[in-house]
Every structure is written in C-alpha cells, then in structure tokens.
C-alpha cells in the first residue's frame, strides 16, 4: 500500500481542479465476448464457441478528493444474448491524518440469470457475494498492523453435483509498510475455511503465511517478491488428500544500455500427504527473461525467452516448455495497447502410462500415451482507442493453438472481447 509523495512546496500547487464534492457518473456499454475452446471429442464437433452480445449500464459514485471518509461504489447491470448479469462493488476507507487507512470495508456482489436458450451447459441462476473488513489498530510512522476478516458465498438456484453452493470465511493478521519511499513490504498470516453445504466431505481449512517486498527506483529498476505457503486440510482425506503449497513470484528489472533487462519467475510446489492418481507432488517453475526498450509513452518493445518446467516425479505430466516471446506496448493517451507473440514447444519427459499389468490383457493393450509433445503459439492483443472525451473502444483478444504430435490431441483456446463505452 502506498501513498503519494506530497510536493515539498504543496502550497504552490493548484489543486483547484480536483474533486471537492462527491461525484456520480454513469456509462453505457455495448459489445460482445467470444470464447473458443477446441479439443478432441471422439465422434462429433470438436469446437466449443460461445459468442455473447450485451448491453450494459453502469453508475459509479466517489467521495470527495482527500476526504476522511473515502468511498466508491459501482453498480452495473447488463443484458446479454446468453444471460443477464448484475454487479455491485463498494469500497469504504476511513483515512487518518497521516493518510493511512484505519478502517476499510470491501464488498462485492454478482448475480447471473441465464436465458432459456443459453449456449452455456450449466445454466442454474446464481449469485455470489463477498464482504471483507480491515482494521488497523496500530499505525506507526512506517508500519501498520492490520486485522482482516472476510466471508463469501455462492448460491445456485438449482444446486447440482456440478453447481455446488459453498461458503468461505476467514481471518488474517498483516503487518504492512506505510512510509513513502521506494520500498514497500508486507507480512501476513491468514486462516480460511470453505464449507460445501451439500458435500461436506470436501470441506477444507487453510492456514497460510505470506510476505511481499516491492522496491522500485525512479527509473523503473526494481524487484518485486511475493511468497505464500499454505496448508490445506480436507475433512475427508479419502476423497481428496491434504496438502502443502508454496508459491513464489519474483519480478525484477535492471537498467542496461538504452533499456532494461527483466526477469519474471514463478515457482509452485505441491506436496500431498498422500499421493494418488490425480493428486501428485509436483514442482513447477516458469519464467520469462528478456530485454525491453523504448519510451513508455510511445512504444516499449520486449524480446525474451519464456520457459516452464513441471517436475511431477514419475507421473506422466512431467514436461519442459520453451518459447520465444516478442511484444510491443504503448500507453498513449488516445490510442494504446499491446501485442505479444510467443512461439515454443512443450516436451513431455514420458507422457505414457502403463496400467497395472495384472489387470490388463497384455496381448491387446497395456500402455497409452496420455500426453503428447506439442508446438504452440500464444497471441495476445489488447488495444484501446479514446474516440472522444466521452467515448472509447476497447479490444482484447488472444489465440493459443497447440499442435500435437498426435493430431487428436490438438487443442485451441481463444477469446475476444470488444467494448464500446459512452460516458456522458
């Protein structure tokens, strides 16, 4: 959490154009979303595609600038060709004289009502809600202690084995830096509980500890670190084993010549109390290393190598993936966006499984190639165009085909979204 560096000579600055009263604004949006997932089916259609056109109205209110009680609320309702949606988010903060939050309340609500003729396979109307409260009982010059509590739930009108209601509750204690500077950090521990009213065997408790560090200098050099370790306890271990998870996220950039060398690395460890066919210990490392250069206000170019390795012991999932990534991004005020390409290959160390020989007729069949190597493309486009002060157009699209050595395993993921928004 940061707060801005106030100007030394603040009195000389003209803040007159900043908000002095609460503001309310509304907007209208029209657009479409399209999802594509192509995968092998044995006999018929191999592509699932859903396209949805929608119209949405939204209203947003905000507290005055610099108020002691700061709030923001946004409500949206949309009608689409597949479903109706409602969304409400609210954020309240009680801010101290030192500009550090003393109390914060975050709430969100989503409602979904499917149309009769929807293409979606699961069409039980549902609503989700989440409420989180944060209190900072101790605030020092540089550090604050924060207590958090939250609860959330999802409720399906017609629950089924695939559309399951659940409730989450949790609490946590965090220590976070408050001082302005180039370094931000935080440490925390939380406990969570998820319960499934209709399927209590998979109820779970989680205990976790986490920490983050963010250091940046004025030139954009810096490092961001995040780590979380979690213990997940399942009520009925025969159905799903309890597990440890360790997740780390590292990002860093160093100035070099006219640009920066960057490194992004993520690691994931899963360790189950008891391994099964589907819940197996694994270590995943993925990252990107490369060079970026250019002016952030015009165009920043990036070139790098992306890699991923999953070590799943003697499970057939073990693989190594390597790709070449290139991209450009711009943050211009009228037109901005980014375009990224990645091409690479994933190789499985041994994607075959051998069934228990005693249970299989060895003359006919005893092994199967569960996973096959593949080449892939990842194309990710995002663009925005501010047509006028009141109107803008957003486009997001991605396309990720996989070409396997076994053609029947080929698959493709795709997504496209277009939004035209009018903000009077």
Residues 193-212 that bind other proteins (CB under 8 A): none
Q: What is the DSSP string of 25-82?
A: EEEEEEEEEEEEEE---SSS--EEEEEEEEEEEEEEEEPPTT-SEEEEEEEEEEEESS
Shortest separation between residue 322's beta carbon and other proteins, angstroms? 18
Question: Distance (Å, rounded) from C-alpha 111 to C-alpha 104?
Answer: 24
From residue 79 to residue 108, the character string flagging contacts with other proteins as x (rule: CB under 8 A) and all else as - is: --------x-x-x-x-------x----x--
C-alpha to C-alpha distance for 210 and 224, rounded to whole angstroms: 14
C-beta closer to other proteins: residue 228 or 309: 228
Supply the minimum distance, in Å, between the C-beta of residue 349 and other proteins: 7
CB of 135 to other proteins, least distance (A): 15
How many Å separate Cα 115 from the centre of its chain? 27
Nearer to other proteins, 41 or 324 (CB): 41
**Residue 381 interacts with other proteins (CB under 8 A)?**
no
Nearest to 382 by CA among 342, 415, 344, 422: 415
Minimum distance, C-beta of residue 111 to other proteins, in the bound complex (Å): 12
Q: Are 414 and 35 in contact (CB under 8 A)?
A: yes
C-alpha angle 23-58-331 in degrees, rounded to nearest 5? 80
DSSP for 76-111, please give it. Answer: EEEEESSEEEEEEEEEEEEE-TTS-EEEEEEEEEEE
Determine, following the binding rule CB under 8 A, whether residue 422 of this chain makes contact with other proteins: no
Which positions from 120 through 149 interact with other proteins, judged by CB under 8 A? Answer: 120-122, 126, 128, 141
Pick the closer one to other proteins by CB: 118 or 305: 118
In the complex with other proteins, the residue whose CB is nearer, 97 or 277, is 277
Q: Which of residues 314-353 bind other proteins (CB under 8 A)?
A: 314-317, 329, 331-333, 336, 338, 349-350, 352-353
| Secondary structure of residue 10 in the 3-state scheme | helix
In the list 173, 367, 387, 390, the residue contacting other proteins (rule: CB under 8 A) is 367
DSSP symbol at 16: T
Question: Does 21 interact with other proteins (rule: CB under 8 A)?
Answer: no
By DSSP bridging, strand 83-95 and strand 69-80 are: antiparallel
What minimum distance in Å lies between the beta carbon of 137 and other proteins?
19
State which of residues 43, 116, 117, 388 lies at the interface with other proteins (CB under 8 A): 43
Cα–Cα distance measured from residue 44 to residue 40, given in angstroms and rounded to the nearest whole number:
9
Closest CB to other proteins among residues 203, 214: 214
* Binder among 164, 209, 261, 339 for other proteins (CB under 8 A): 164
Pick one of 92, 279, 385, 422: the residue that binds other proteins (CB under 8 A): 279
Q: Cα angle vertex 238, ends 234, 241, to 5°?
A: 45
Of 173 and 297, nearer to other proteins (C-beta) is 297
Of these, 199, 320, 384, 403, which contacts other proteins (CB under 8 A)?
A: 384
- Range 62-81, binding other proteins (CB under 8 A): 62, 65, 72
**How near is the Cβ of 294 to other proteins at its closest, in Å?**
10
CB of 128 to other proteins, least distance (A): 8
The smaller minimum CB distance to other proteins, of residues 201 and 324, is found at: 201
158 part of the interface to other proteins, by CB under 8 A:
no
Give the DSSP H or E segment for 303.
strand 299-311
| Distance of alpha carbon 356 from alpha carbon 362, whole angstroms | 10
Q: How far is CA 353 from CA 35, 55, 107, 356, in A?
A: 32, 49, 47, 10
Structure tokens at 319: 């693989």
Find the binder of other proteins among 42, 97, 117, 388 (CB under 8 A).
Answer: 42
């Amino acid at each position: 959490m940061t707060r801005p560096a106030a100007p030394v000579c603040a009195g000389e600055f003209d803040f007159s154009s900043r908000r002095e009263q609460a503001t309310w604004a509304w907007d209208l949006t029209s657009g479409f979303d399209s999802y594509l997932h192509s995968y092998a089916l044995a006999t018929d259609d191999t592509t699932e595609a859903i396209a949805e056109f929608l119209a949405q109205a939204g209203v947003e209110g905000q507290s005055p600038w610099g108020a002691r009680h700061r709030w923001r609320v946004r409500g949206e309702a949309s009608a689409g060709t597949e479903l109706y949606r409602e969304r409400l988010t609210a954020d309240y903060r009680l801010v101290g004289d030192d500009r550090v939050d003393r109390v914060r309340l975050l709430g969100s609500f989503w409602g979904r009502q499917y149309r009769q003729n929807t293409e979606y396979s699961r069409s039980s109307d549902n609503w989700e809600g989440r409420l989180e409260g944060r209190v900072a009982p101790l605030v020092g010059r540089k550090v604050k202690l924060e207590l958090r509590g939250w609860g959330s739930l999802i409720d399906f009108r017609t629950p089924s084995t695939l559309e399951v209601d659940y409730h989450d509750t949790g609490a946590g204690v965090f220590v976070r830096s408050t001082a302005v500077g180039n370094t931000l950090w935080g440490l925390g521990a939380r406990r969570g509980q998820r319960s499934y009213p209709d399927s209590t065997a998979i109820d779970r408790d989680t205990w976790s500890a986490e920490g983050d560090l963010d250091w940046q200098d004025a030139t954009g050099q810096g490092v961001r670190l995040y780590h979380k370790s979690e213990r997940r306890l399942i009520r009925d271990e025969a159905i799903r084993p309890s597990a440890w998870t360790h997740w780390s996220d590292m990002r860093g950039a160093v100035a070099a010549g006219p640009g920066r060398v960057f490194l992004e690395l993520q690691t994931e460890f899963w360790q189950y109390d008891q391994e099964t066919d589907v819940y197996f210990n694994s270590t995943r490392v993925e990252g990107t290393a490369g060079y970026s250069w250019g002016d952030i206000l015009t165009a920043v170019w990036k070139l790098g190598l992306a890699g991923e390795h999953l070590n799943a012991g003697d499970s057939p999932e073990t693989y190594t993936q390597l790709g070449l990534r290139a991209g450009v991004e711009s943050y211009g005020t009228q037109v901005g966006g980014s375009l990224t390409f990645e091409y690479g290959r994933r190789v499985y160390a041994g994607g075959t499984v051998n069934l228990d020989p005693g249970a299989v007729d060895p003359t006919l069949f005893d092994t199967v190639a569960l996973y096959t190597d593949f080449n892939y493309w990842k194309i990710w486009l995002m663009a925005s165009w501010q047509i006028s002060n009141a109107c803008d157009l957003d486009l997001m699209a991605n396309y990720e085909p996989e070409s396997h050595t076994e053609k029947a395993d080929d698959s493709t993921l795709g997504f496209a979204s277009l939004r035209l928004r009018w903000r009077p």
